[in-house]
Chains A and B, each alone.
Chain A
Amino acid sequence: MRLLKLLFLFSPLLLLVTPVRAIEDVKSNDPKVLELAKERLNDIANSKTNTNEKKAFWGTITSINNNQITIEKNDNTYTLVTTESTTVINEKRNKAKLDTLKVNQTILAMGTLSDNDNTLNTARIVSVDAKTIVKNYQVIVGKIADISKEASVITIIPSKNKDIQYQVKTDNKDLKIGAKIIASLLPDPKNPKSFTAIKIFPL
């Protein structure tokens, strides 16, 4: 009985120690804890904004089943849910019927995102040419090794790989040999080794 009384009297002392530990945990500056908290907050924010968000997916039609069209782009699969009010625009920019869409056709679909991230409640489908969308931009940082003024072509050697040379068409007349630049380029569709400068930024 006496022992029980002593235990009873000592038990509140545990409270002196445990709250300190709890406060320490909350004030933690551990990057992992902060990262987890950030991810969780992002998840909560995304879960609230996904539904009814206006989105557009483009890709190649892989299947058409009743009111569902499946398209693929870069190994991603999207499901397009269509209704009678879904507008279809063909390659001649005329309105067309849904049943004119065919497998292997490339389309751009616009609508609102459903609860599933890859499913679109589709309002509008436009037939497109993938070649006009895919740009294959290249951005390189390096030095100008040569300037051929007659042909408006410069030679750029990238900082990170001096074994490569880029032949770039540009109408920029203010460039100098040896200048360090960032070049935003588009490859020539007919010759992937030849590039056209979208813009050149001197450093």
Chain B
Amino acid sequence: MFKDLFLALILGALLGFGLTGAYFTFTKTQKTTPTPTPTPQISSIPSPIANLTQVPDIKLEISTPTNDIFVNTSSITVSGSTSPKTQIIVNTPISAYNTQSDDKGVFSISVNLEIGANEIKVTAIDQNDNQVDSDLTVTYSTTKI
């Protein structure tokens, strides 16, 4: 009886270590082996259609303010994220403001508002002159609601 138990334990331990080792080796190999990627083929024939349908690879996310927000202050902070080192233009009914996103693509700028509904356009322009816009409305009033 004890001999069987002992034998089972030894076999079990060996099998367990074997399986675990094999799993680690397998996953490690999968991670370190570079996956061959196809080299993009550049067509020698220029395609005007490709130029027209090219989607600029630039993103723009506005963190603050949220669209249709109501505020009691004449100045708000427009912040968000885009590509690194990108020009940011913020248009409000008062003026146009500009800043540049940092190395991580984060930007923040204070802008002034007029009384009432303010249409705001935030534009990001990257180093290749690709451009993307985001529109929002912010209402400024001194009335308490």
Contact = CB atoms under 8 A, between A and B. Distances in A.
A20 B141 CA distance: 57
Interface stretch (A61-69, A95-103, A105-113, A169-177): A105-113
A164 interface: no
Interface residues of A, number: 40
Interface in B74-100: 87, 89, 91, 93, 95-96, 98
Q: Which of A17, A56, A132, A203 counts the most B-chain CB atoms under 10 A from its CB?
A: A56
Contacts of B27: 24
A132 B141 CA distance: 16
A44 interface: no
B23 A9 contact: no
A201 B98 contact: yes
Interface string B93-127: 10110100000000000000000110101010100
A184 B4 CA distance: 85
Interface in A89-133: 108, 110-112, 123-124, 126, 128, 132-133
A16 B4 contact: no
Contacts of A132: 116
A133 B116 contact: yes
Contacts of B71: 54
B89 A6 contact: no
A201 B89 contact: yes
B68 A55 contact: yes
A94 B19 CA distance: 82
A110 B72 CA distance: 12
Given A56-B69, A182-B87, A139 B15 contact: no
A128 B117 contact: yes
B16 to A, nearest CB: 4
Nearest to A130: B117
Q: Which of B91, B98, B121 counts the most A-chain CB atoms under 10 A from its CB?
A: B91
B25 interface: no
A137 B12 contact: no
A195 interface: no
A63 B19 CA distance: 70
Contacts of B133: 139
Contact of B131 (A16, A141, A203): A141
Interface of A: 2, 5-6, 9-10, 12-13, 16-17, 20, 24, 53-58, 108, 110-112, 123-124, 126, 128, 132-135, 137, 139, 141, 159-160, 182, 184, 198-199, 201, 203
In the complex, the 5 A-B pairs of residues with the closest C-beta atoms, listed nearest first: A56-B139, A184-B96, A123-B145, A199-B96, A13-B16
Given A13-B15, A56-B141, 12 more contacts: A17-B20, A54-B70, A54-B71, A56-B139, A110-B70, A128-B117, A141-B87, A182-B89, A184-B89, A201-B87, A201-B98, A203-B87
